[in-house]
Amino acid sequence: METILEMKNISKHFSGVKALDKIQFDLRKGEIHSLLGENGAGKSTMIKILAGIHTPTEGQIFINGKEVKIEKVSDAKELGISVIHQELSLVPYMTVAENIYLGRMPSKKSGFVDDRKLEADAYKVLERLGVQDVIHVNDYPANLTVAQQQMVEIARALSVDSKILIMDEPTASLTERETVQLLEFVQMLKNQGVAIIYISHRMDEVFQISDRITVFRDGQYIATRNIGEVTYDDVIRLMVGREMKDVYPEVNLTKGKELLRVEHLDDGKFLKDISFELHQGEILGFYGLVGSGRTEIMRYLFGVDKGAAYNAWLEGREFKVSNPKEAIEAGIILAPESRKEQGLVLIQDIRFNTVLAILDKLIHGVKTDKKQETEIVEKYMKKMRTKATSAAHITGQLSGGNQQKVVLAKCLATNPKILILDEPTRGIDVGAKFEIYKMITELAEEGVGIIFISSELPEILNLSTRVITMHEGQKTGELAREELSEELVLKYATGGANK
C-alpha cells in the first residue's frame, strides 16, 4: 500500500517539557493506524502538529513523498488533513449545516449565504454517513447527543474530502452502542480510501479496527506493529514499559452500616421515583446509556442542580443540601464527568487545584499549612502517576488523562464519607486505570461508600459490589455482585426488562 504521510525525527518542546523527542510515524492510504501510549506520551501533541496547531521544534513531514510545512490550521486543511480533537469543537450558536461548512459557506451573488444550497449540501454529507434522519441540518449542537455532535464533526471532515482523518479519543464519551456505530463509520471511510490515525485508550476497539499500531512512551517512539502480530499483553507492555499482570484489583469488601438512603427522587421532568441506599464499604455501580439520568441524580444530591423532590438520610439524619459546599461539609464529594466545565481551574497549577476544596481545613490562623499541602499534593501525584514537571505545572497544559487525575485528587483530598465518581476513568490509560481502581477499592475497604458511574461495562462488572441500572430516567434494576452478568446488566439498562 502506498504511504501517504511520513513524519521523520519530529520533536516538540514546550518550555522545558520534551513532549515529543525525534519521533517517527507513517500512514498508508486506506489504513487505520492507531497511535497508543500512556497519558502524556505525546499523542495529542503529534496530532496537533499535523493539524497546524503546534509547529514542531525540529523534524520533517512528507505527504505523498513531498516535504510539506504545516504552519497553520488552514495549511492542514489544504493538504486534506482533518482532525477530530479530544475536545469537541462545534460552534454552539451555529446550526449543524453551518458547522459542517464552517468558513466555507456557499454564497449567493448578493454575497449572502445561500441557505438552500448550504442545507442541501449538508444533507448530502449526512446522508453519506446514513444519519440524515437523526441529525437535522437546522439543529443546534446543544440539542444533539455527544455521539451526534461527533458525527457532525465527521461530516465536516467528509465534506472537505479529507485524505487523512485523525481522531483523538473519539469514543471516550460514547456508550457501547454509539461506539459500535462510530467504528462502523470509521471502517466505511477506510474502505473509501481515507487514511485514518486513531487514538483511543480502549484496547478492545483498537484491536477491532486497526491495521497497524504505533506506540509512544514519554515522548519517544517505541514501535510499530501489524495488529495481527501482537497480543493485548504485548501492546500493554510496549505502552507502559513494564509487565502488567492484572487489570482489576481483587474486590473483597464487607458491607458496613448504612451511609445514605434516598427515597422517591423525582424531578417532575425526567427522573422518576428513584430510591436506593449506600452502605460503608460498598462500590455501588450505576450503569445506563449516556443520558439515562445517572449524572442528573447525583447533581441533585450534591446540590449542583435544584428542583427535585426527594427524601434522603445521611447516617440516619435527614439530608438535603442547597449547594455543593454544604455537601462537601457533610462528607459527600462528586467527581464530575466533564472536567473542562466543572472540575478544574485550568489556568492554575496542580497544587492549587488539588487543595481547592479543602483550603479552609489547611488554614491555621491566617496562614495555610504549606507542608501539609505539599504532602497531600505529592501523595496523589505519586499514587496516580500524574505526568507533570512538578506540582507547579499549569493544569491546562497537562494531557487530557492527567487533567482527569487532578480532578480525582481534588475530590479524594476532601476525605469524603461518600465518594461519587462520574466516569472516573474516561481518557485514562491502562496503567493508570489500574491505580485508580486500586484506590477505589482501598477507599471502600477503609469504609468509604462509593457510587461509581461508568459507561464501560467491564469495569462496572469487575469493581461493583452492587449495580443499579438506569433507563430513560428510571431505575430498571438492582443486582448484587453474585447476580452480575453482562447480559442482565445490558438487558435492564436498555429497558428490556425491569427487576
Ligand X SMILES: Nc1ncnc2c1ncn2[C@@H]1O[C@H](COP(=O)(O)OP(=O)(O)OP(=O)(O)O)[C@@H](O)[C@H]1O
Closer by beta carbon to Mg ion, 21 or else 121: 21
Return the axis-axis angle of helices 146-159 and 176-191, rounded to nearest 10°: 10
Ranked by CB distance to Mg ion, the top (closest) residue is 44
Closer by beta carbon to ligand X, 41 or else 125: 41
Residue 159 Cβ vs ligand X, minimum distance, rounded to whole Å: 26
Question: Does 219 sit near Mg ion (CB under 5 A)?
Answer: no
Closer by beta carbon to Mg ion, 336 or else 400: 400
> Beta strands 283-287 and 449-453: pairing type?
parallel
239-277 CB burial, b ≥16 within 10 A, e <16? bbeeeeeeeebebebeeeebbbbbeebebeeebeebebb
Closer by beta carbon to ligand X, 14 or else 232: 14
Rg of the chain over Cα atoms, rounded to whole angstroms, equals 24
Binding window for ligand X (CB under 6 A); candidates: 11-19, 99-107, 256-264, 310-318: 11-19
Task: Give the residue from 421, 452, 423 showing the smallest Cα distance to 333.
Answer: 421
Question: Does 387 sit near ligand X (CB under 6 A)?
Answer: yes
Question: Does 299 sit near ligand X (CB under 6 A)?
Answer: no
2-15 CB burial, b ≥16 within 10 A, e <16? eebbbbeebbbeee
Residue 75 Cβ vs Mg ion, minimum distance, rounded to whole Å: 22
Return the axis-axis angle of helices 400-412 and 430-445, rounded to nearest 10°: 10
39 interface partner picked from Mg ion, ligand X, none, CB below 5 to 8 A per type:
ligand X
Residue 393 Cβ vs ligand X, minimum distance, rounded to whole Å: 7
| C-alpha dist (Å) from residue 244 to 249, 258, 429, 431, 432 | 12, 36, 13, 8, 11
Task: Give the residue from 144, 190, 145 showing the smallest Cα distance to 167.
Answer: 190
Question: Does 222 sit near ligand X (CB under 6 A)?
Answer: no
Footprint (CB under 6 A) of ligand X, residues 409-448: 429
Footprint (CB under 5 A) of Mg ion, residues 21-60: 44
Question: Does 170 sit near Mg ion (CB under 5 A)?
Answer: no
Question: Does 400 sit near Mg ion (CB under 5 A)?
Answer: yes
Angle at 360 between CA 359 and CA 363, to 5 degrees: 90
14 interface partner picked from Mg ion, ligand X, none, CB below 5 to 8 A per type:
ligand X
Binding window for ligand X (CB under 6 A); candidates: 171-179, 190-198, 282-290, 393-401: 393-401
Footprint (CB under 6 A) of ligand X, residues 41-70: 41-45
Closer by beta carbon to ligand X, 34 or else 441: 34
17 interface partner picked from Mg ion, ligand X, none, CB below 5 to 8 A per type:
ligand X
Residue 86 Cβ vs Mg ion, minimum distance, rounded to whole Å: 5
Q: Which long-range contacts (CB under 8 A, 24 or more apart) does 139-144 make?
A: 139/95, 139/96, 140/92, 140/93, 140/94, 140/95, 140/96, 141/90, 141/91, 141/92, 141/94, 141/96, 141/99, 142/92, 144/96
Q: Which residues pair with 14 in a beta bridge?
A: 17
Residues that bind ligand X (CB under 6 A): 14, 17, 19, 37, 39-45, 387, 397-402, 429
Residues that bind Mg ion (CB under 5 A): 44, 399-400
